[in-house]
Chains A and B, each alone.
Chain A
Amino acid sequence: MKGEILIRNVKLVDSWGEHGTAEVLVGEGRILSLSGGDADRVLDASGYVLSPGFCDPHAHLREPGQEVKEDLTSGLTAAARGGYTDIVSMPNTTPPVDSAEVVSALKKKALLIAQARLHPSAALTQGQEGKLLTEAKLLAEAGAVMLTDDGRTNEDAGVLALGMQYAASWGLTVSVHAEDAGLRRGGVMNEGEVSFRLGLPGNTGYAESARIARDLEIVRYVKSKVEGQRSKAKTLLHIQHLSTARALHLIRGAKADGLPVTTEVGPHHLTLTDELLESLDPLYKVAPPLRTKADSEALINGLLDGTIDCIGSDHAPHTQDEKELDMLRAPFGIANIEVCWPVLYTELVLKRGFPLTTLLERFTDGARRVLGFEAIRLEEGAEASLVLWNPQQERPVNPQTFASKAKFSPWTSWKLKGWPVMTLVEGRVVFDNLRQLA
């Protein structure tokens, strides 16, 4: 058997377990064999791990209109470097992605860029204005994978209920940035002892949990309506970037009740807390805000027990100038797609003994399940969208090396392991750091 790449002596790990060492032959976009063969390029991957490519249900790639922050080329290249083969882009661009034409155009452009694969999400309402629904059927046909007004909050419960119901009939899940705008009151960081001391406007965690409590009731309502309608979507609502223990508790209860909801958490809410704002550096300004240690501990437990389905990066690049504005004016967002895996592999698996296969599940199968995608298995015949990563070599985070346009990071100088060294999308090498390492 002749393939394009032979990855020798590589350890296979996916969400099902650690499968020992294999000789992975890749060709025609697939895994041809796990026991070797001839190839044009042969790599000795001793000491490395091969896993299914990561999937991110939530990244801001800023195109169209905000290319000064990020564009498809920089964003999808950054994603590939982070080990991602599949990325969902958020539609809060300028203008918002709310038409099938723009979804098609983004998909076409991403194919030419040929880095991580792009799966655009589109606006739930026209112009993301929270009033009139977008064309879910046409958007789905053009390749949109979710509908969301992320960047804004869905204040009108009626519109959200209609949107959920209608989107479901075309197989689309609605995803929400769940924060009550009234309770949030213009807060720029977590409301609590630290914000009181710093004199910064606080955003209470109850803004998130109160909104989620409402949204879960809307799901219950919509579920009762669509049950007899043969709706295509399995999940009615995906709740983005969970940040509080209270919200986790509500979702855990909803899932136990059988409500069709999913959720995600970002690496920053798992590893950083509001005490970092003591620096008064807008680098740490993000929405929802960094919370307390008790919250991040609860979220780690939720990630472990499966209440949280997947990691969503919420990669949110901005320019350095914007992030050097003051705490009130700087935009919300942390760019992180290149460090998500090393941050969580190091901080959760290596430092706390979090199970590796569970973390991998949340980066791969869990995220694909949320999106209705097939899982990628490490077996003969499977799609060769894969990441090769180094579990041993320690390297400090250096944002200057990022492919993302946002060359700053709250994890700067953190010494991490688990760095991806090669990413393949359908058998094509899109990121290759192996030669430099050799």
Chain B
Amino acid sequence: MTATQEPTPATAQPPRSLLDFQGWSRGQLESILETAKMMQEVLARPVKKVPALTGFTVATVFFEASTRTRLSFELAARRMSADVLSFAASTSSVSKGETYKDTLLTLDAMGLDAYVIRVDAAGVCHQAEKWLGKPIINAGDGWRAHPTQALLDAFTLLEKLGTLEGKKVAIVGDIQHSRVARSNAELLPMLGAKVVACGPATLLPGSLLAAELTTDLRQALSEADAVMALRLQNERMDKGLLPSLPEYISGYQITEGRLGWAKPDAPLLHPGPMNRDVELEGSLADSPRSLVERQVANGQAVRMAVLYHLLVGKKS
């Protein structure tokens, strides 16, 4: 999608769920980002609560452990006065062998309005929408998608850069197994940015939508307007995809020096949780170039906006 694309007609209905960005237009996504700005204002008030979702019940269903994403969604829902049902797999029947489908149907029998789902397998959120027929927000499905993370990344970049039109965003790390990379590679070009995905050859897919792929970190960072480092899972070494951690650090760690290849003041993002001194040189995480804390703060506003759009409709 490009900047010259026709604006979406006001009558076009956004999809019922946020599974990924398929079916969403640039206009609809920009409208969510606009709403997020208003939510940011709400969050700056002494009383951080609005009645927008009074009477709605939102379930956060986390089949895979995640603290920050779940808390961010739950707080977002509560700040809009929704009731929240929090379900985590480790304390549930899933560990006793109940299927995702049965678990979701059981929860649904309690009368819920929307689901935030985190799961280890790509596609479960799509299946859930079919089974439940209710709005689903994908909070991460396997390697596939994590659309609210991409939205909060875009929001944070827009806040810093003003626009994404023509901007080069370098994403560095384990691209192949990253839902964050995949969702950003889908969203950022819709907003006008160019994405370059960089990592060790064994952690790069053969292609990634419109993103440019490279194993050359210097080429990726060169003239970049923003740099995003991804979390590296230790599992990659265990499976033989990487020889060692020092090898990764030597080739792909974002250091102060390497950041010099990017444009001056190019901001640094990380979706967290961070392995300090692996993906980033430790001191960089706390430097003024790091937007990591902004990302977390903005995450809440963006998730409020997404919930609002899916449950109540267009921003008034």
Contact = CB atoms under 8 A, between A and B. Distances in A.
Are A and B genuine complex partners?
yes
Interface of A: 191-193, 196-201, 279-281, 321, 324-329
A193 B213 CA distance: 13
B99 A199 contact: no
A46 B127 CA distance: 46
Contact of B99 (A201, A279, A321): A321
B127 A199 contact: no
A200 B141 CA distance: 10
B142 A325 contact: no
A327 B141 CA distance: 11
Contacts of B79: none
Given A326-B123, A328-B121, A193 B100 contact: no
A326 B119 contact: yes
Contacts of B120: 328
B205 interface: yes
A214 B179 CA distance: 36
Contact of B143 (A191, A192, A199): A199
A360 B141 CA distance: 45
B206 A280 contact: no
A199 B206 contact: no
Contacts of A191: 206
Interface residues of B, number: 23
B122 interface: yes
B99 A327 contact: no
B112 interface: no
A198 B206 contact: no
Given A196-B205, A325-B99, A327-B123, 13 more contacts: A197-B182, A198-B122, A199-B143, A199-B179, A199-B182, A200-B142, A200-B143, A280-B126, A321-B99, A321-B101, A324-B101, A326-B127, A328-B122
A191 B127 CA distance: 22
Nearest to B102: A321
6 interchain residue pairs of minimum CB distance: A280-B123, A199-B144, A199-B143, A326-B121, A196-B205, A328-B121
Contacts of A201: 143
A198 B127 contact: no
Contact of A198 (B99, B100, B119, B144): B144
Contacts of B101: 321, 324
B201 to A, nearest CB: 14
B124 interface: yes
Contact of B122 (A193, A324, A327): A327
Contacts of A329: 121
B208 interface: yes
Interface string B184-205: 0000000000000000000001
30 contacts: A191-B206, A192-B206, A193-B207, A196-B205, A196-B206, A197-B207, A197-B209, A198-B123, A199-B122, A199-B142, A199-B144, A199-B182, A200-B122, A200-B144, A201-B143, A280-B126, A281-B123, A324-B99, A324-B101, A324-B127, A326-B119, A326-B121, A326-B123, A326-B124, A327-B121, A327-B123, A327-B142, A328-B120, A328-B121, A329-B121
A196 B126 CA distance: 17
B99 A200 contact: no
A328 B142 contact: yes
B145 interface: yes
Interface string B104-136: 000000000000000111111011000000000
Contacts of A279: 126
B291 to A, nearest CB: 25
B99 A280 contact: no
Interface centre among A196, A199, A279, A281 (most CB of B within 10 A): A199
Contacts of A193: 206-207
A198 B206 CA distance: 12
A124 B205 CA distance: 37
B207 A196 contact: yes
A328 B205 CA distance: 18
Contacts of B179: 199
A212 B86 CA distance: 50
Nearest to A185: B239
A301 to B, nearest CB: 26
B208 A196 contact: yes
B123 A200 contact: yes
Contacts of B209: 197
Contacts of B182: 197, 199
Given A198-B122, A199-B144, A326 B100 contact: yes
Nearest to B22: A278
Nearest to B123: A280
Nearest to A192: B206
Contacts of B124: 326
A277 to B, nearest CB: 9
A71 B179 CA distance: 41
Contacts of A192: 206
